[in-house]
Amino acid sequence: MQINFGNLSNFKSSFRHYEIGNLFRLIKDNNYPTLGLEFSFTDQKDTKKPFEDHYRKYILPHVEVFELKRIETLRSLRKRSITAIPFQIITVITTFAAIYYLPKGDATQVSLVIGFMVFAALGYWSHKPVRKYAANVKAEVFPEIFRFFGKDYLYNEVSPLKMELLEFSGIIPSYDSCHLEDYVKGDYKDITLELTEARLQETRGSGKNRRTVTVFNGIFVLLDMNKDFSGKTIVKKDIGKLGNWFSRKFSKKLFSKAINLENVKLEDPVFEKKFEVYSTDQVEARYLLTTSFMERLLELSSLFSKQGVIQCSFYLNKLLLMIPSDKNRFEVGSVFQPATFIDDINHILKEMAIIFQIIDILKLEQKTGL
């Protein structure tokens, strides 16, 4: 979506060219432009309804309020940065001095850790107003943006999805800690969808070799199915005969949640080369994984090939898609940009278009013949 905002576009471009020091001086002198209200949207060709009316009715009333909040946030950031930066400089100098003068060994390591923690804590404190501003945008503006897709759409920065439900799918890797955020729920073509961003981590090794590894970073998409089934069928990445054997032998999530999973051999050689299929019911697996569905899953996998292989599970009359991704998908735009939310809107429209494309490719809205 391309947007022309009249004098507002000049306002945005001028802000992009301010250096931070000039921006702080601009705020300090209360000499910043006011928002214009004249604008027009140029919608994409495949957009069935324009966003302009929705913007005027639900988003525009927030613009003036949040522009004031944004300016106040930058004032607070400036004040806190002026306080924090000298202490950060002192922390760096003190830390390097301690490393240089103290005996080599545990003392220098402790000094380095303490110095890093103090430096990070000061940075965290100075940017607290920015995090609060972003949280307010997500709480008040993002739900209004998602209402464009339907009045039933819900958005929450904190995800209510429980990992226990997702683990039962059999495709969740072993993990020690998880972080779920940016939850969306709504209907598309009579399909109820739930999605959430997820980061799963696991601690491996011991002693000095102990480390935290990210085992999954991306989104979970949970979709209602229009086919009834009683068992569980999972589609995992094919990692070779030896890798698949170890996966079946040692994967806690795979066999602790479904003891009777068996390997399913399918007739599509291209699909077999990319995926490994397990199911509690061989007949039901073939009922779900029709030739057309496998072709669509391969098409979908190629769409996300840069991030990794998509994995999925049919269970509890739902389809869970585990889609790897290396970026945060629903984040608030820069506090240094005017609070028009145009970048946020375009970003959300783009991301949701990808989710809808998944449903379109898999044709889950069809009642029969996946």
pLDDT for the residue numbered 210: 86
Q: What percent of the residues of the chain are helix, what percent strand, and what percent coil, each to the nearest 5?
A: 50, 20, 30
pTM confidence score: 0.74
Q: Please tell me the total number of residues recorded for the chain in this structure.
A: 370
pLDDT, tens digit, 9 for 90 and up, residues 299-318: 877 776 566 778 999 998 89
Strand partners, 202: 213
- Asked if pLDDT for residue 38 goes beyond 60, the answer is no
Confidence of residue 64 (pLDDT cuts 50, 70, 90): confident
Domain ranges of the chain: 2-136, 151-362
Q: Which two tokens stand for residue 231?
A: 């068992």
Residue whose token pair is 């966003």 = 51
pLDDT, tens digit, 9 for 90 and up, residues 211-266: 899 999 999 999 988 777 888 999 988 765 544 444 444 444 444 444 578 888 88
Angle between the N-to-C axes of helices 60-101 and 106-126, in degrees from 0 to 180, rounded to the nearest 10:
160
Neighbours of 159 (CB within 10 A): 21
